Amino acid sequence: MSTSAYDAVVVGSGPNGLAAAIALQQAGLAVLLLEGKRELGGGLRTAELTLPGFRHDICSAIHPLAAASPYFQTLPLAQYGLHYLTPPVAAAHPFDDGTAAAVVTSLADTARSLGPDAASYQRLLGPLVESWPNIANDVLAPLHFPKHPLDMARFGLSALQPATLLARRFTGDKARGLLAGMAAHAIQPLSNLTTSAIALVLLIAAHRGGWPLPQGGSQAIADALVAHFRALGGHVETGTFVRSLAQLPPARAVLLDVTPAQLLQIAGHSLSSIYQWQLRRYRYGMGVFKIDWALAEPIPFTAPECAQAGTVHLGNTLEEIAAGERASSRGQHPNRPFVLLAQQSLFDATRAPAGRHTAWAYCHVPNGSRVDMTAAIEGQVERFAPGFRERILARHTFDTAQLEAYNPNYVGGDINGGLLDLSQLFTRPALRASPYRTSQRGLYLCSSATPPGGGVHGLCGYYAARRALRDVFGLPAPPLHGER
């Protein structure tokens, strides 16, 4: 490791670590970015996991929040080869009767496809889609007084509700099931408060620009961010797994893209006893079991809308999805789990050899589960796409322990960096004036264990860097998209 003096050191090259490093470098500081693996990117990595020529997203896959990130939008990432592809259907949700709900950019078209709930859907989403430019920077931020309080209140009144309660606005299975699938991205029981928030954010993103995927794989996002950081003069070192602050070169500020479990290991001795106690009480949520497939042909979904969708939610009705998520949160493994599936190769020819395809999917499981969910996941795909299994050429699986071994931030397979329920939504990882400050001066947390939480948006890193710039250097942070 370099022994040169730096103004700031960032540990971890996931989207938040990269965002933090870039924001600090933009402010004119000398920044060192350290990554434990040889490859940069954290959850933004792509590799041939199954067969040669089949490129799979190892962790994240579809990126509506990356494309719409108020910070990433300010960066010239297209100059470094980042190009998004937007499927015609953002997300499809098939049902046992062979039909599907489909979310497209047009709010009106999506609403019409929901039959008796068309008007209710437009009443719910219409004002939020329209006001999103006013509230995006407030929704995706630490707790503060919003710039547009009335618009924010309209969003909050729905977002704070359990998804099972918000779903009462609808009468048909299509709209109710669609909402449940969106809310299941919260990775917690749908009866929990705030589970409607992620559902609304994802639907708003779909109607404002779709759910894009990066051409070439998720690694393309990381590669563009790294290239921009280097172009600004930033320094990168890989293959340096940080286990102690003593390993780091001198710096006035250190930002760690890790969760509380790793923070305690790396810096526990230097943290106050009260802060350590808070970190130990931090709760992680359900894990995931993930499969990547190399396929001879596209998945033969019965519902035609699914063939146009980058993302497909497999879970049938709200009642079935809610029951499965509740069971997983209680330590059980449902026979019919809710499955999130992405089929990138339908829209990106770089993902597989000519005529072949890839698919990516996961289901939620109890934290730390070692149960093989391959049969259950493939059974769900086969349920809505008869003949799917016949098209499988090869598969690769990750259980929760393997995911954590690949990325230590995925504690017990929790890809959100900690449970995002109401008690940890704004106070993650601890109740403090700033969630990014630790109890040691100059040491900050910049991972998804801080607000606004999981997702590829870089905002946890950006806000941690902004805090460090003010506290340590007395400098302003680069503005977000829409800020003046």
pLDDT tens digits in sequence order for the chain, 484 residues long: 555 689 999 999 999 999 999 999 999 999 999 999 999 999 999 999 999 999 999 999 999 999 999 999 999 999 999 999 999 999 999 999 999 999 999 999 999 999 999 999 999 999 999 999 999 999 999 988 999 999 999 999 999 999 999 999 999 999 999 999 999 999 999 999 999 999 999 999 999 999 999 999 999 999 999 999 999 999 999 999 999 999 999 999 999 999 999 999 999 899 999 999 999 999 999 999 999 999 999 999 999 999 999 999 999 999 999 999 999 999 999 999 999 999 999 999 999 999 999 999 999 999 999 999 999 999 999 999 999 999 999 999 999 999 999 999 999 999 999 999 988 987 899 989 999 999 999 999 999 999 999 999 999 999 999 999 999 999 999 999 988 7
Question: What six digits make up the tokens of 235?
Answer: 């320094």
What is the pLDDT, as a whole number, of residue 5?
86
> Phi and psi dihedrals of 20, rounded to 5?
-60, -45
**Which residues on adjacent β-strands are paired with residue 84?**
214
Question: What six digits make up the tokens of 41?
Answer: 């990117």
**Residues 69 and 458: beta-carbon distance below 8 Å:** yes
> Phi and psi dihedrals of 205, rounded to 5?
-60, -40
181 vs 29: CA distance, rounded Å: 43
143 vs 426: CA distance, rounded Å: 6
Q: Is residue 341 classed as helix, strand or coil in its secondary structure?
A: strand
119 vs 337: CA distance, rounded Å: 30
**Residues 279 and 263: beta-carbon distance below 8 Å:** yes
15 vs 223: CA distance, rounded Å: 11
**Residues 39 and 484: beta-carbon distance below 8 Å:** no
Question: What six digits make up the tokens of 90?
Answer: 């953002």
Q: How many CB atoms lie within 10 A of CB 99?
A: 17
Q: Which domains, and CATH codes, for the chain? A: 6-49+59-82+214-282+415-473 (3.50.50.60), 84-210+285-406 (3.90.660)
Choose among 257, 228, 240, 232: nearest CA to 30.
232
Helices 195-209 and 149-159: angle between axes, nearest 10 degrees: 120
What is the pLDDT, as a whole number, of residue 426?
78
What is the pLDDT, as a whole number, of residue 441?
96
Under DSSP, the state recorded for 192 is S
77 vs 60: CA distance, rounded Å: 18
168 vs 188: CA distance, rounded Å: 19
Report H helices in 8-87. 15-26, 64-68
What is the pLDDT, as a whole number, of residue 456?
96
What is the pLDDT, as a whole number, of residue 3?
57
Q: Is residue 355 classed as helix, strand or coil in its secondary structure?
A: coil
> Phi and psi dihedrals of 394, rounded to 5?
-165, 160
Under DSSP, the state recorded for 473 is I
What is the pLDDT, as a whole number, of residue 423?
85
List, in sequence order, every beta strand (DSSP E) within 399-479. Answer: 443-445
HSE-up of residue 305 (Cα within 13 Å, Cβ side): 20
Before 87, cis peptide (omega within 30)? no
Task: Assign 3-class secondary structure to 294-340.
Answer: EECCCCCCCCHHHHHEEEEEECCCHHHHHHHHHHHHCCCCCCCCCEE
301: left (phi over 0), alpha (psi -120 to 50) or beta: beta
Burial class of residue 161, CB neighbours in 10 A (0-12, 13-18, 19+)? buried
What is the pLDDT, as a whole number, of residue 185?
97
Amino acid symbol at 411: V
Q: What's the chain's Rg over C-alpha atoms?
A: 21
